[in-house]
Amino acid sequence: MLCRGRRRGQPQNWPIPHICNCSGRAYTGNSLILKDLDVNREAIAQLLERHGVLPTPQRLDIAELVFARPQHLSADEVLSRLRAGRARVSKATVYNTLNLFRARGLLRTVEIDPARIYYDSTSAEHHHFYNVDTGELTDIPLDAVELKVRTGLPPGTREDGVDVVIRVRSES
- 22 inside domain: no
Statement: residue 104 has pLDDT above 90: yes
Q: In Å, how far from its chain's centre is CA 126?
A: 10
Question: Which pLDDT score is estimated for 76?
Answer: 96
- 18 inside domain: no
- 148 inside domain: yes
**C-alpha pair distances (Å), 58 with each of 32, 41, 85, 105, 145:** 19, 11, 13, 19, 38
- 98 inside domain: yes
Cα–Cα distance, 62 to 101 (Å, whole number): 10
Task: Tell me the per-residue pLDDT of 52-93, one tens digit each, with 9 for 90 and over.
Answer: 999 999 999 999 999 998 999 999 999 999 999 988 999 999
CA nearest to 63, candidates 86, 85, 39:
39
- 8 inside domain: no
Statement: residue 2 has pLDDT above 50: no
- 112 inside domain: yes
> Is the whole-model pTM more than 0.75?
no
121-155 burial string, b = 16+ CB within 10 Å, else e?
Answer: bbbeebbbbbeeeeebbbbbbeeeeeeeeeeeeee
- 27 inside domain: no
Task: Tell me the per-residue pLDDT of 124-149, one tens digit each, with 9 for 90 and over.
Answer: 889 999 999 998 999 999 999 998 88
How many domains does the chain contain in total?
Answer: 1
- 141 inside domain: yes
Expressed as residue numbers, the domain containing 139 is 32-168
CATH of the domain at 104: 1.10.10.10
Q: Torsion angle, CA of 153/157/162/164, rounded to 10 degrees?
A: -70
